[in-house]
């Protein structure tokens, strides 16, 4: 079985995929865990591509350790998702540009109020065929009117972006679906072909 990415015109092309999760709160950590679990099962990911990068806004924990160091050492986001192993292939990175470097799939999972500044930092830095999913709740409200975050990402970064949201609590999601909710054979936006 060959996994390929379905393009807008319905044709399929071979793909080698690398995913970055932009955000590391509770929802971002759940997304990273689910994606990391699934990339291990898919042939379009191999070698270093099994790695799922997660951009982490660097914070210092009460014990003095940096959050990224703790995540990379323990495979757990001790602040936002304590007690849940994210997977050995989740790599926390406090450098936004480095985290998205070479990724062709971006999953945005940050509070909506930070998306404008994140897009400004990434503008011109994303190259190649990159697609995105926004799991960001809320919308950007500007003087021109409201704007969906997926539209903001598409406009600012010049990439395809869709919005995905379900009204299910994170804990229920994580435990009920045993980390199989994010079937990345959906390949970020488009359904794969056999």
- The confidence band for 192, taking pLDDT boundaries of 50, 70 and 90, is very low
Could you read off the pLDDT of 46-89 as tens digits, one per residue? 665 589 999 999 999 999 999 999 999 999 999 999 999 999 99
Could you read off the pLDDT of 134-154 as tens digits, one per residue? 999 877 887 888 888 999 999
Domain assignment of residue 139, yes or no: yes
pTM of the model: 0.78
> Any idea which of 6-15, 18-27, 51-60, 67-76 has the lowest mean pLDDT?
6-15
Largest interatomic CA distance in the chain: 52
The residues that bridge with 5 in the sheet, in sequence order, are 13
Distances (CA, A) of 145 to 11, 118, 120, 148, 155: 36, 20, 19, 10, 15
Reduce the DSSP state of residue 152 to 3 states and report it.
helix
Q: Which of 60, 40, 62, 35 is nearest to 50 (CA)?
A: 40
Rounded distance, CA 14 to CA 54, Å?
25
Domain assignment of residue 7, yes or no: no
End-to-end Cα separation, the chain, in angstroms: 6
Domain assignment of residue 2, yes or no: no
**Tokens found for residue 103:** 């990724």
Q: Residue 116 maps to which CATH number?
A: 3.40.50.720
Rounded distance, CA 189 to CA 8, Å?
10
Domain assignment of residue 192, yes or no: no
- CA–CA–CA angle 90, 96, 100 (5° rounding): 65
Domain extent for 114: 17-186
Domain assignment of residue 105, yes or no: yes
Burial label, 39 (beta-carbon count in 10 A; 0-12, 13-18, 19+): buried
């Amino acid at each position: 079985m060959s996994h390929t990415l379905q393009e807008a015109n319905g044709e399929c092309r071979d793909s080698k995929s690398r995913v970055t999760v932009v955000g590391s709160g509770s929802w971002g950590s759940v997304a990273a865990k689910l994606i990391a679990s699934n990339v291990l099962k898919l042939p379009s990911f191999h070698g270093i591509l099994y790695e799922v990068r997660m951009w982490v806004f660097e914070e210092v924990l009460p014990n003095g350790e940096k959050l990224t160091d703790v995540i990379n050492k323990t495979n757990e986001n001790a602040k936002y998702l304590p007690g849940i192993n994210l997977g050995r292939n989740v790599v926390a990175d406090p450098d936004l540009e480095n985290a998205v470097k070479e990724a062709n799939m971006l999953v945005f999972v940050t509070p909506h109020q930070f998306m404008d500044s994140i897009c400004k930092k990434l503008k011109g830095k994303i190259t190649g065929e990159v697609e995105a999913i926004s799991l960001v709740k809320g919308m950007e409200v500007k003087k021109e009117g409201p704007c969906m975050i997926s539209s903001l990402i598409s406009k600012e970064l010049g990439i395809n972006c869709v919005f995905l949201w379900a009204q299910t609590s994170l804990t229920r999601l994580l435990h009920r679906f045993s980390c199989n909710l994010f079937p990345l054979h959906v390949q970020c936006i488009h359904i794969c072909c056999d």
